[in-house]
């Protein structure tokens, strides 16, 4: 009807120019877009002018110079060199790395746990399936912040003090579980350790070539090799062999109890432990549901066909069902990874020094630079989110069904 | 054997059904099939039973049989039993629910909460009596609730810093979801629009919101939002939080509704166009009613997520139920009862969220049969 109107009106020429434009679909689109964009710009200009006026009123300037100033605060866990004399920039970097550490470890643990739980949820064993169901429902329906606080409380309260860990709470007197953190010996590579790393890299490369060869062989002759087990053996065995041949070129820096706490060694703080554990537990419940839905989405015929050709249940699952289910699983899995990364910002509730706690917390309080610090924090999260979704999109494309 | 017994005793065609063999029915069959069907299954069952044996009895003892329900303080609890000290929760219960809301006025949040269900009724159930008129009340509900809670106009004024406990969680959650729905619809329509400028703006906004944690937005609300407003204006922290939470959930809402819009067959859009309906007419009369109906489970799930996320307000210093719980841990009379507090709050949230997720599952089931034919 709209197009009929347009023709009628332009023929009679009774309407004025603007009305004619309005009834033309394309012209109207252009007008509306110009209007939207100008309203947006007006809004941005209004906010910017407000910001400038407000900053002038309290005598603040907009600059990132504070990043070069010394931070004057301590961070108890840092992956890079840091002291209270370091700059705010360095503190921010430490925070970013801490966030990424939680995100990476959490994603790995949550994925493994989630897949195992998702498969167990579909187990023919009624008891196991119901237990996983209870776990999933309870975890999914309570706030993640609450879980973080609860896990942190349990970790801090149930582990012994460093002195107590000397008597109990240790693994063979080398790894100590205390409420100040988990202390483990730190490896110190000596001369010749490079060969071990070389052997490790060689083993990984070799496994890739072996996997291709095995696949080709299977395609041609139908003979199946347990690729995973052989690869695992090679990746662990080869470096171990070289390590022993070189005469064990590795020293350990053992943690020792000095005064009230352990000194030396490699330490994982209870905050990191609690946060990673809680986020993994929380996200694993969601991943379990996604995996379950993905497996259930696969046609029953695939199971039957695979069992009919004589594959075992576990091989069917790992080589027929899950590769197909991955196509259903990956998109929602991506958003779970993003959620885990974003939820790691709750670190601030238990005092783990992530980016929100360093730049967005103490630095903000010290310098009073709300704008600048928030821009850094938000920019960081946006770029991490974009990177993860780009990677998962690439992966999703790679495993997509090739249609002929 | 069966040959002789059946053919000799009964005429052909009148042979009664035999009961199934003992091992193929009843409890034995169930156990054999579900718990002991293969060796791995037997091993899993043993493992599960062992695990439950390890976990359940101590948990039961701690939570119920050794727990103390009435005592004056922690020492009193410990004297009576070594289980959980629920007396603490009992003493703080009203503060967990209402925060510092003045005691004589507490009928107002209760009434507002009750009216919430009256307002939700016509939205959620098709067969609600006088649905059309009841819908008007649903529209007016946010304002009625705000008046009841804040007071003014005949009621005693209550300032927002007196809001707390579960009341605060419900206020933030319900406000966020109510106001994010229309914004989410507009954003979703904008994202599906064929005008590039509108589309880009909507996509940028949605992806921005979904790319940052709620905490950073709450920080923006508590530290920075006043910079964006004309000099001299400042408003309530709760109000700022509500604005941010609404914007946050509208990003997620937009994606849920986009899913609904995409699920509508192309033919519906084309049919609406060929009827000569204008864009807003076709959206309002044809597309959105269908799209929103399919999105209801997603909307409920978004609400569950948002409701759980309302606990994050403690990070900027508001005292919701979790904040009240943590604050009461500082009481020296009751020191060291964090497990009791956290577990009871967890149960609280579980009851709310589990009920809602069941409802959304029920809806999914209902909609499923409606659309497959």
pLDDT at B373: 35
CB pairs under 8 A between A and B: 161
Q: What are the domain boundaries of chain A?
A: 2-58, 88-185+270-398, 188-253
- Listed in sequence order, the residues at least 6 apart from B311 whose beta carbon sits closer than 8 Å to its beta carbon are A143, A145, A146, B169, B320, B321, B322
Neighbours of B21 (CB within 10 A): 9
| CA nearest to A26 within chain B | B195
Q: How many residues does chain A have?
A: 404
What angle do helix axes A25-58 and B196-211 make, rounded to 10 degrees?
40
b/e burial code for range B160-171 (CB count within 10 A of at least 16 → b)? beebbbbbbbbb
Q: What distance separates the 2 farthest-apart alpha carbons in chain A? A: 99
**Tell me, what's the pLDDT at A2?**
46
Q: Three-state DSSP class for B258?
A: helix
Residue B36's closest chain A neighbor by CA? A125
How open is the CA angle B129-B135-B139, to the nearest 5 degrees?
155
**Closest C-alpha among A301, A292, A187, A332 to residue A250:** A187
Q: B244 near B220, Cβ under 8 Å?
A: yes
Question: Does residue B118 carry a pLDDT above 90?
Answer: no
Calculate how close chain B gets to A131, using CA atoms only, in Å. 8
Residues of A in contact with B213 (CB under 8 A): 342-343, 345, 356, 381
pLDDT single digits (tens) B198-236: 999 999 999 899 999 999 999 888 888 888 888 777 778
Contact B231 A33 (CB under 8 A): no
Report DSSP letters for A310-363, one per residue.
T--HHHHIIIIIHHHHHHHHHHHHHHHHHHHHHHGGGGGGTT---HHHIIIIII
CA angle A280, A286, A290 (to 5 degrees): 130
Sorted by where each begins, the domain ranges of chain B are 2-57, 90-101+158-371
Q: Residue A41: which of B126, B65, B197, B81 has the closest Cα?
A: B197
For residues A28 and A396, give the distance between their C-alpha atoms in angstroms, rounded to a whole number: 39
Query: How far, in Å, CA of A347 to CA of A276, rounded?
Result: 10
- Put simply, whether B32 touches A (Cβ < 8 Å) is no
Report, as an integer, the average pLDDT of B283-296.
88
Closest residue, chain B, to A130 (C-alpha): B48
Predicted pLDDT at B256: 92
Which residue in chain B has the smallest CA separation from A313? B40
Q: Mark yes or no for CB contact B228/A47 under 8 Å.
A: yes
Query: Do A275 and A352 contact (CB within 8 A), yes or no?
Result: yes
CATH topology of domain A88-185+270-398: MetI-like fold (1.10.3720)
* B334, two tokens: 């009751």
Of the candidates B195, B332, B179, which has an alpha carbon nearest to the alpha carbon of residue B249? B179
The three-class DSSP label of residue B273 is helix
Whether A2 and B322 lie within 8 Å, measured CB to CB: no
Q: Do A143 and B349 touch (CB under 8 A)?
A: yes
pLDDT of residue B296: 85
Using the Cβ of B11 and the Cβ atoms of chain A, whether some distance falls under 8 Å is answered with: no
| DSSP β-bridge partners for residue A250 | A189
**Which residue is it, tokens 């999260």?**
A381
Spell out which residues of chain B touch residue A345, defining contact as CB-CB under 8 Å.
213, 215-216
Within 13 Å and on the Cβ side, how many CA atoms surround A59? Answer: 0
In whole angstroms, what is the distance from residue A14 CA to residue B274 CA? 26
Q: What span, in angstroms and rounded, lies between the C-alpha atoms of A91 and A72?
A: 10
* Partners of A181 in beta bridges: A178
| For A37, nearest residue in chain B (alpha carbons) | B197
Contact between A182 and A175 under an 8 Å Cβ cutoff? The reply is yes
How many residues in total does chain B contain?
373
CB B88 within 8 A of CB B341: yes
Band of the pLDDT at B19, cuts 50, 70, 90?
confident
Distance CA B183, CA B198 (A): 14
Tokens linked to A52: 């400038």
**What mean pLDDT comes out for the span B238-252?**
93
Helices (H), chain B: 2-9, 26-35, 39-60, 74-80, 86-98, 107-124, 131-150, 165-191, 196-211, 214-219, 225-228, 237-263, 266-274, 279-282, 288-309, 321-329, 338-371
Beta bridge partners of A252: A187
β-pairing, A181-184 vs A261-263, is unpaired
CB contact (8 A) between residue A50 and residue B197: no
Q: Tens digits of per-residue pLDDT, B292-315?
A: 888 888 898 899 999 999 999 998
In words, the CATH class of domain B90-101+158-371 is mainly alpha
Nearest by CB to A356, which of B35, B194, B216? B216
Chain A residues near residue B312 by CB distance under 8 angstroms = 145, 346
Residue A187, H or E segment: strand A186-189
CA A360 to chain centre: 20
Distance (Å, whole) CA B192 – CA B255: 11
Q: Distance between CA atoms of B254 and B249, rounded to whole angstroms?
A: 8
- The pLDDT value recorded for residue B168 is 92
SS3 B19: coil
- Which of A213-217, B19-23, B320-324 is predicted with the least confidence, judged by mean pLDDT? B19-23
- A352 contacts A98 by C-beta, under 8 angstroms: yes
> Considering only CB atoms, which chain B residues are within 8 Å of A157?
338
pLDDT at B243: 92
- The predicted pLDDT at position A165 comes to 63
Q: String of b and e for B320-344 (b: at least 16 CB within 10 Å)? A: bbbbbbbebbeeeebeebbebbbbb
Determine whether the interchain pair A146/B51 forms a contact, defined as Cβ–Cβ distance below 8 Å.
no
- Give the percent of chain B with pLDDT over 90: 27
Q: How far apart are the first and last CA of chain A?
A: 42
pLDDT of residue B35: 79
Rounded to an integer, the average pLDDT of B131-153 is 85
State whether A146 and B346 contact (CB < 8 Å). Answer: yes
Q: What is the pLDDT of residue B242?
A: 93
pLDDT class of B337 with cuts at 50, 70, 90: confident
- Between CA B30 and CA A95 the distance in angstroms is 54
Residue A34, CA atoms < 13 Å, CB-side half-sphere = 6
Identity of the residue in A36, A349, A356 whose CB atom sits nearest the CB atom of B198: A36
CB atoms B223 and A370 under 8 Å: yes
Mean pLDDT, rounded, for B141-160: 85
Q: Which residues of A touch B354 (CB under 8 A)?
A: 137, 141
Instruction: State how far the Cα of A172 lies from the Cα of A161, in Å rounded to an integer.
Output: 17
Sign of CA dihedral B95, B99, B103, B106: negative
What tokens were used for B170? 């419900």
Residue A274's nearest CA partner among A164, A182, A361, A141 is A182
Please give the ipTM for the structure prediction. 0.85
B154/chain A closest Cα distance in angstroms: 37
- Please give the residue that has the higher pLDDT: either A247 or B257: B257
Sign (positive or negative) of CA dihedral A381, A387, A388, A393: positive
Scanning B340-369 for CB atoms below 8 A from A yields 342-343, 345-346, 349-350, 353-354, 357
Going from the C-alpha of A226 to that of each of A219, A223, A230, A319, B279, the distances in angstroms are: 15, 10, 6, 12, 60
How would you write the pLDDT of chain A (404 residues) with one tens digit per residue? 444 444 444 455 556 777 777 777 788 888 888 998 999 999 999 988 988 888 888 888 888 888 888 878 888 777 787 887 888 888 889 899 999 999 999 999 999 999 999 999 988 888 999 999 999 999 999 999 999 998 888 888 777 776 666 666 666 666 777 777 777 777 777 777 777 888 888 888 888 888 888 888 888 887 777 777 888 888 888 878 887 877 776 677 677 776 666 666 677 888 898 999 999 999 999 999 999 999 988 888 999 999 999 888 888 888 889 888 888 888 889 889 999 999 999 988 888 888 888 888 888 888 888 888 899 999 999 999 888 888 878 887 887 766 55
List C-alpha distances in Å: B292 to A174, B176, B255, B355. Answer: 59, 18, 12, 21
Give A49 to chain B, closest Cα distance, Å.
8
For residue B135, what pLDDT is reported? 83
Which run of H or of E encompasses A258?
A: strand A256-258
């Amino acid at each position: 009807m709209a197009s009929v109107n347009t023709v009628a009106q332009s023929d009679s020429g009774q309407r004025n120019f603007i009305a004619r434009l309005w009834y033309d679909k394309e012209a109207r689109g252009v007008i509306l877009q110009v209007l939207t964009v100008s309203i947006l710009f007006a809004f941005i200009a209004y906010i910017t002018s407000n910001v400038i006026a407000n900053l002038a009123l309290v005598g603040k300037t907009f600059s990132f110079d504070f990043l070069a100033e010394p931070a004057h605060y301590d961070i108890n866990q840092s992956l890079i060199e840091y002291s209270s004399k370091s700059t705010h920039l360095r503190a921010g970097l430490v925070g970013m790395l801490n966030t990424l550490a939680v995100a990476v470890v959490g994603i790995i643990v949550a994925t493994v746990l989630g897949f195992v739980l998702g498969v167990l949820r579909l187990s023919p064993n009624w008891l196991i399936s119901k237990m996983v169901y209870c776990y999933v429902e309870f975890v999914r329906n309570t706030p993640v912040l609450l879980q973080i606080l609860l896990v942190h409380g349990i970790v801090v309260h149930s582990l012994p003090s460093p002195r107590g860990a000397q008597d109990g709470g240790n693994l063979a007197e080398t790894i100590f579980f205390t409420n100040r953190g988990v202390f483990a010996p730190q490896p110190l590579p000596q001369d010749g350790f490079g060969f071990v790393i070389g052997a490790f890299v060689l083993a990984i490369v070799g496994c890739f070539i072996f996997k291709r060869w095995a696949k080709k062989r299977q395609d041609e002759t139908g003979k199946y090799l347990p690729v995973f087990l052989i690869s695992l053996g090679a990746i662990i065995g080869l470096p171990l062999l070289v390590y022993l041949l070189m005469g064990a070129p590795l020293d350990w820096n053992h943690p020792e109890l000095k005064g009230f706490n352990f000194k030396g060694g490699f330490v994982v703080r209870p905050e990191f432990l609690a946060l990673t554990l809680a986020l993994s537990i929380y996200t694993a419940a969601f991943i379990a549901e996604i995996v379950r839905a993905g497996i259930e989405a696969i046609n029953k015929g695939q199971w039957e066909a695979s069992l009919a050709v004589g594959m075992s249940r576990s091989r069917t699952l790992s080589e027929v069902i899950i590769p197909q289910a991955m196509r259903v699983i990956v998109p929602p899995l991506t958003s779970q990874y993003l959620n885990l990364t974003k939820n790691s910002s709750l670190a601030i509730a238990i005092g783990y020094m992530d980016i929100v706690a360093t730049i967005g917390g103490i630095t903000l309080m010290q310098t009073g630079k709300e704008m600048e610090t928030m821009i850094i924090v938000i920019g960081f999260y946006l770029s991490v989110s974009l990177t993860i979704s780009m990677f998962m999109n690439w992966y999703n494309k790679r495993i997509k069904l090739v249609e002929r | 054997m069966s040959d002789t017994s059946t053919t000799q005793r009964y005429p052909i065609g009148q042979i009664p059904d035999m009961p199934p063999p003992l091992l193929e029915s009843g409890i034995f069959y169930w156990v054999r099939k579900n718990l002991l069907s293969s060796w791995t299954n037997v091993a899993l069952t043993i493992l599960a039973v062992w695990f439950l044996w390890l976990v359940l009895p101590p948990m039961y003892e701690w939570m119920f049989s050794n727990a103390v329900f009435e005592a004056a303080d922690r020492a009193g609890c410990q004297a009576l039993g070594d289980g959980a000290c629920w007396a603490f929760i009992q003493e703080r219960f009203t503060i967990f629910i209402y925060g510092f809301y003045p005691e004589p006025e507490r009928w107002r949040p209760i009434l507002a909460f009750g009216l919430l269900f009256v307002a939700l009724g016509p939205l959620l159930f098709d067969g609600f009596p006088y649905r059309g008129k009841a819908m008007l009340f649903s529209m007016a509900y946010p304002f009625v609730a705000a008046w009841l809670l804040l007071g003014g106009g005949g009621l005693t004024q209550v300032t927002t810093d007196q809001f707390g406990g579960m009341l605060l969680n419900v206020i933030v959650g319900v406000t966020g979801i109510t106001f994010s729905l229309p914004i989410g619809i507009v954003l979703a329509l904008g994202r599906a629009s064929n005008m590039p400028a509108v589309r880009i703006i909507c996509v940028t906004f949605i992806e921005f919101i979904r790319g940052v944690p709620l905490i950073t937005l709450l920080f923006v609300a508590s530290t920075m939002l006043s910079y964006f407003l004309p000099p001299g204006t400042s408003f309530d922290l709760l109000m700022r939080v509500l604005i941010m939470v609404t914007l946050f959930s509208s990003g997620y809402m937009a994606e849920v509704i986009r899913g609904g819009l995409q699920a509508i067959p192309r033919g519906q859009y084309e049919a609406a166009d060929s009827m000569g309906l204008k864009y807003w007419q076709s959206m309002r009369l044809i597309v959105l009613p269908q799209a929103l109906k399919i999105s209801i489970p997603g909307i409920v799930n978004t609400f569950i997520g948002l409701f759980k996320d309302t606990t994050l307000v403690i990070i900027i210093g508001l005292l919701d139920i979790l904040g009240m719980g943590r604050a009461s841990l500082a009481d020296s009379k009751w020191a060291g009862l964090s497990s009791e507090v956290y577990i009871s709050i967890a149960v609280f949230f579980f009851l709310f969220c589990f009920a809602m997720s069941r409802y959304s599952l029920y809806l999914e089931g209902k909609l499923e049969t409606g659309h497959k034919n």
